[in-house]
């Protein structure tokens, strides 16, 4: 019997590159696949740039594995970018990775991998995949600071069953040490992309203006309101603001002020203080289950409401309309419509859904 063949999703960065190297050293037959997601033009940073494709190809050549590039720019634009723009134009704050992972990244990498005769795919995410009672689910990575389980909740059982996360048991420092040990100093020194991959300059407002050229005709300037409804200033249009935003408001109240709510219909934005953003409950739609196929009634679990927060204890109850009501044991800060609520049991992802305030 020949070696097991695994396709590695390669972006040119340290994590996916060392993933390929680790699997190769473990004796697997490796092929690299890079998705061309977006034309970033002259900006050659981030995982969507043509430079990242070249870097992925070059690394594959260095370690002697075949490399394939799949152009999925049309699908990415139609699915991920369109959703991103539509959500902001509806006064919501999207999470593009949550949309991209199942509908573009996993879909097309698995498709190409199967064409090449691969039994599994691997990515450089800091997460783990577990199996229990015939179900696959994501478990938090060992490196808590780098854990990426939050953006994996929409992956299907089939997608999870065909995926491995070799970096799940490693810490980032260990991956850097491995790269250095093998002489890949350029990978260690390479800066990591923190922004949205198709907005490498991190200016989503400028991106909206480019993507919706007549946005200033569609969306007018509107009023900033105090929590009691009094006008306290003028904003540039509701799509350019998000819950919890403090910088770039253009108003001075003498104390730190934060966006509390964004109302599309009235084109108004309420401004308040930090404690005004504390919430005791939220509602979740589009719930997708992983570890189990349902919640127990009034289940006591943990929920994470954004990527860079810790899970908070809560009680979950199903509503007549199919949504789930989440009541927090202690209030949480800046609940934001359009973001993901991801439910955990210990380190295991039970389910996830979209926040509806």
Question: Which residues are known catalytic residues?
Answer: 100, 197
Tell me if 271 sits within 8 A of 251, measured CB to CB.
yes
Give the C-alpha distances (Å, rounded to integers) separating 317 from 283, 296, 301, 321, 323: 10, 8, 11, 12, 9
Q: Are strands 348-356 and 340-345 parallel, antiparallel or unpaired?
A: antiparallel
Residues 6+ apart with CB under 8 A from 356: 282, 283, 284, 285, 323, 337
* b/e burial code for range 248-257 (CB count within 10 A of at least 16 → b): ebeeeeeeeb
Residues 6+ apart with CB under 8 A from 77: 38
* Calpha distance 118→66 (Å, rounded): 13
- DSSP assignment string, 55-97: HHHHHHHHHT--EEEEE-HHHHIIIIIHHHHHHHHTT----HH
Rg of the chain over Cα atoms, rounded to whole angstroms, equals: 22
């Amino acid at each position: 019997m020949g070696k097991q063949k695994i396709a590695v999703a390669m972006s040119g960065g340290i994590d996916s590159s060392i993933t390929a190297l680790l699997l190769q050293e473990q004796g697997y037959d490796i092929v690299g696949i890079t998705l061309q997601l977006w034309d970033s033009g002259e900006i050659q940073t981030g995982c969507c740039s043509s430079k990242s494709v070249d870097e992925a190809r070059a690394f594959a050549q260095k370690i002697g594995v075949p490399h394939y590039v799949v152009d999925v720019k049309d699908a990415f634009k139609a699915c991920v970018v369109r959703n991103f723009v539509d959500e902001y134009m509806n006064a919501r704050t999207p999470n593009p990775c949550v949309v991209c992972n199942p509908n573009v990244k996993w879909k097309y990498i698995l498709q190409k991998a199967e064409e090449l005769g691969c039994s599994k795919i691997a990515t450089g995410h800091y997460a783990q995949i577990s199996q229990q009672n015939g179900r696959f689910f994501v478990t938090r990575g060992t490196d808590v600071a780098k854990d990426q389980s939050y953006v994996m909740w929409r992956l299907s059982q089939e997608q999870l069953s065909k995926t491995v996360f070799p970096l799940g048991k490693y810490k980032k420092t260990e991956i850097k040490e491995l790269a250095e040990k093998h002489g890949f100093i350029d990978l260690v020194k390479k800066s990591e992309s923190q922004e949205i991959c198709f907005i490498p300059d991190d200016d989503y407002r400028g991106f909206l203006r480019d993507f919706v050229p007549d946005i200033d005709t569609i969306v007018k300037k509107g009023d900033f309101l105090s929590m009691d409804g009094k006008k306290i200033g003028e904003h540039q249009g509701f799509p350019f603001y998000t819950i919890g935003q403090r910088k770039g408001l253009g108003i001075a109240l003498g104390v730190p002020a934060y966006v509390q709510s964004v109302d599309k219909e009235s084109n108004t934005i309420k401004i308040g203080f930090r404690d005004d953003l504390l919430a005791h409950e939220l509602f979740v739609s589009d719930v997708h289950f992983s570890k189990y196929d349902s919640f127990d009634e009034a289940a006591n679990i943990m929920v994470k409401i954004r990527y860079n927060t810790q899970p908070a204890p809560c009680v979950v109850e199903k509503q007549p309309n199919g949504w789930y009501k989440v009541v927090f044991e202690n209030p949480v800060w800046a609940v934001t419509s359009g973001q993901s609520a991801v439910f955990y049991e210990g380190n295991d992802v039970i389910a996830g859904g979209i926040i509806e305030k």
